[in-house]
């Protein structure tokens, strides 16, 4: 399994929701998100 860090802008929440849709299509990949506080709350859900 490969590990990747994925930066998601915390300016507006549209960025993080699109990024989640993108990474949900990855196979055999471990994703770590790097983002600000407001987007982190979305990612925890």
Among the listed residues 2, 12, 22, 23, the one whose alpha carbon sits nearest the alpha carbon of residue 35: 12
Q: How many domains does the chain have?
A: 1
- Report yes or no: 29 and 6 within 8 Å, Cβ to Cβ: no
**pLDDT by residue (tens digit) across 12-38?**
788 888 989 999 999 999 999 888 888
| Reported pTM | 0.72
pLDDT at residue 8 in the model:
86
Domain that holds residue 25: 2-44
């Amino acid at each position: 399994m490969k590990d990747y860090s994925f930066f998601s802008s915390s300016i507006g929440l549209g960025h993080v929701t699109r990024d989640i849709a993108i990474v949900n299509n990855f196979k055999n990949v471990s994703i770590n998100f790097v983002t600000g506080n407001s987007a982190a709350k979305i990612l925890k859900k």
